[in-house]
Structure formats: structure tokens, C-alpha cells
Amino acid sequence: MDHKSISEILNKYWAGETDLQEESALKKYFTGVDVHHSLKQYRPLFAYYLAEVEDKPLDSIDAAVLQHIQYKAVPAKTKVFSFSKAWKLAATVLILLGVTTFFYQHITEKSGVHITYDDNPEEAVEAYLELKAALALVSNKIDDGKKEALKGLSKTKSISIMK
Amino acid sequence: MKYIIFLSLGLLSLNLHAQGDAIEKYFQQYIENNDFTVVFISPKMFQLISKLDLNEVDNDPEAKLIMETVSDIRGLRVLTTDVNPMERYKEAMQKINTKEYEVLVTVRDKGENVRIWVKETDSVVEELLLLVGAVDEFVMLSFVGNIDLEKISKLANNIDVKGAEHLEKVGSGQD
């Protein structure tokens, strides 16, 4: 076909008014060797378009699209058992056990005697006995002190002590 | 904020009160401690004791003298422990305010250290403080009131007390 006719068909193509026969003619012309210099700029374009229309059947488009969708197999994350939480729980329980045992021992253990004698007449005798023991201790120590003093003095020759 | 100020003032005033009696502070420190045996006889109890009928209570011939001695005493505190006794003794010694207390007796006998202090005001003994530091025992004893040293020292020779282990240890000789 001559280039002038092709030019007319082209115009129709741009308007979207070409039929299959005319498009076929366009393809034939542009994939051929002899393309007029004024139409050369369109050659790559039409080679592409027409190839697209003819050579790619519908199902291969699907295939092409599907190729680009990648299914990443993501395993369902269903956590059945968490080790870190289990450890934390165990540690807490152990600490609490240790602490409570410690305190329990201190509570139940026999503690030092703490007695206050105040205004209970029934305790007066007991208190009196404690008092007596305390006085005995003090007076005994005073006595020891006196004895030590006397011993020391009696060693001094210049002083005579009545024993 | 106000609460904190009031609280600290309150605590401070408590401390200031205790300052007057360094020994009381020491007592307070150990009153919660289960290593210690703590005995306190209050002024009220002293009054009750003075009303006891001696004939029923004590056969000891010294009982009368004891009662006389006790008549002007207001209070008694005793602290004892067998846990780290020598450390406690040293600690207590350091806390004695030597401006207030005067040494009456010092005895070192068979691994036992004994000190007796008195606090005198106008030649009246207001407090008698005894410290014993031995290998197996620490004793801190405080009599407050109007203390008659003469009467107390008179008690030594004849007093008959059961269960006063300290007497056995020192091995008191009879004059």
C-alpha cells in the first residue's frame, strides 16, 4: 500500500475508527521493509501495539499477571506456649515462696522475750523477782569492784589497810 | 508536701526527746530485735511492788532491805543477748555520754567486762547504768529514780537469788 493511503488509515486510527482490516494493513506496512520516511517515526509504535493485540491472547495476560503475584506462604502464627512468660511466672512464684517462707520462719520461731511489767497487780510478784535479780547483779558487781580496789591498795606497802 | 514537713518534725522531736537518755535510744533500737531479751518495769509496777506483803512473797531476810532500796526507784530496764555480745558491749560503751555519766565500778574478771555508771544531779543518783560484756552474754541494765547506792551495796553479801547466773560466773566470795 502506498504511504498516502496509510496516512489516511493512520488518521482514522488516531480517531479510533479503524477496523481490523485497516489495522492489519497498518501492521503489514509498518512491519515491512519499505516504510516511507514521513511515517518512520510510527513504526516502533505500531509494531508494538499490533503485536500486543495479536500476539498476546487473553489467557496469557492472566498468566502474565499471575506471574507477578507472589504468594508468600506465611505460616499461621498460633502461639500455643510462650516460654518467656512461663519463665517469668515461675520466677515470680519462686520469689514469693522464698519471701513468705522467710517471714513465716521468723514469725513462728521462738523470739527473744520482751516483757513489760506495768500496772497489772497479778504480775507484781514476778516483777519483784526480776527486780531482785537485777539488784543482786548490780550489788554483786559493786562488791567485786570494791574487792578489786582493796586488792590494789593492799599491794601498796606505804598504806596499811584494815582487812 | 506539708505532710512531709509535719512528719519529719514529728520524728525529729521524738529523736530530741530520746537525746536526753542515750540509753533509752539504745533500748529503742533493740526493742524490736528478737535476738534480745528485754524487760521493762514501769513506775506503776514499782508502786505495786512496794505494796506487796513480803511475808507472802519472799522468805529472804534481805527482803526488807530490798523493799527499802526499791522504794525510791521508779523504773528498771534490762537488755540481754547472747548474739555478738562483745560487739554489743563495745557499741553500748561508745554511746555512753561521759559528760552525764560517771564511772562507779570497772571490773575485768575471767573474760567478763563490767562497768557501772551513775548519773548524779545534786549528789542524788538519778540513774544507775550497768554494762556487762562477756564471751557468751551482753547485759545492759538501767535503774532510774532516786537510787541509794549504800543500800544497794549492802545487799551484795547476803542476797539470795535463784537463777541469777551472773553471780555464779563471777564467783562472789563471802567476806
Any B CB within 8 A of A161 CB: no
Alpha-carbon Rg for chain A, nearest whole angstrom, is 59
What is the share, in percent, of chain B residues with pLDDT greater than 70? 79
ipTM given for this complex: 0.76
List the single best residue of A118, A131, A148, A161 to mutate versus B (max B Cβ within 10 A).
A131
Enter the C-alpha cell of residue B135: 564471751
Any B CB within 8 A of A124 CB: yes
Spatial contact of A25 and A9, defined as CB atoms under 8 Å apart: yes
The stretch B85-89 carries a mean pLDDT of 92
- DSSP characters for A4-54? HHHHHHHHHHHTT---HHHHHHHHHHHHSS---GGGGGGHHHHHHHHHHHH
Q: Strands A114-117 and B124-134, how do they pair? A: unpaired
Q: A145: which chain B residues are within 8 Å (Cβ-Cβ)? A: 104-107, 114, 116
pLDDT, one tens digit per residue, over A94-107 is 888 887 777 665 55
Q: A147: which chain B residues are within 8 Å (Cβ-Cβ)? A: 173
pLDDT for residue A109: 47
Predicted confidence (pLDDT) at residue A59 exceeds the cutoff of 70: no
pTM for the full model? Answer: 0.56
Spatial contact of B152 and B69, defined as CB atoms under 8 Å apart: yes
B83 or A65, which is more confident? B83
Enter the C-alpha cell of residue A121: 497487780
Q: 3-state secondary structure string, B45-67?
A: HHHHHHCCCHHHHCCCCCHHHHH
Per the prediction, chain B carries an average pLDDT of 79
Number of H helices, E strands in chain A: 6, 1
Nearest Cα to Cα of residue B39 among B74, B83, B79 = B79
